Amino acid sequence: MTSTTDSPFFDPMPALVWNLVCRMLGPIYTEAQPHSVSVFDWSQAVWDQALDIAREHKPLPQVRPPRNRGLLDKSQPSSQSSDVGAFEL
């Protein structure tokens, strides 16, 4: 017979939280896409092509309407920033 104290879930909090996660996420969850990742060809040429296109890419001038401007300008990276092109982590 196995004692419950031997279980990695003896601490009731992880088990309780996990149970809540399962109960909450399960019914809301919907699968977004029908295809498996293996359906596609992920060869090196794909990555190289994406990089080549990005190097040649010239984005449109960033002209924005005035709505929400004050709110959102603070989170928009400067075009001079070295962080442009990356997510803030």
Partner 1 sequence: MSALSYHVQHMPDPAFWQVLADHPKPHGQYPCPLTLGSRIAFVFAPFNTQEGYADFGNPKKCMHLVVPSTPAPITSLGYLFGPPTGMSRRMFVAFFYRSNEAVLAECSPIVMLHKPLGLRLQSGAVYTDFSVASAVLKGDDAPINLLYASPSNLDLSLVIREEADLAGKANLSIQLRVPMLASMTVNPPAPARLPI
**Residues in 11-70 that interact with partner 1 by CB under 8 A:** 18, 20-42, 44, 46-47, 49-51, 53-55, 57, 59-60, 62, 64-65, 67-70
Minimum separation from the CB atom of position 13 to partner 1 (A): 13
Q: Which residues contact 4 (CB under 8 A, 6 or more apart)?
A: 10
Residue 68 identity? N
The answer to whether residues 77 and 83 touch, using CB atoms and an 8 Å cutoff, is yes
Minimum separation from the CB atom of position 82 to partner 1 (A): 10
**CA nearest neighbour of 18 among 8, 31, 5, 32:** 8
d(CA 88, CA 81): 12
Q: Which is nearer to partner 1, 10 or 50 (CB)?
A: 50
**Residues binding partner 1 (CB under 8 A):** 18, 20-42, 44, 46-47, 49-51, 53-55, 57, 59-60, 62, 64-65, 67-77, 79, 84-89
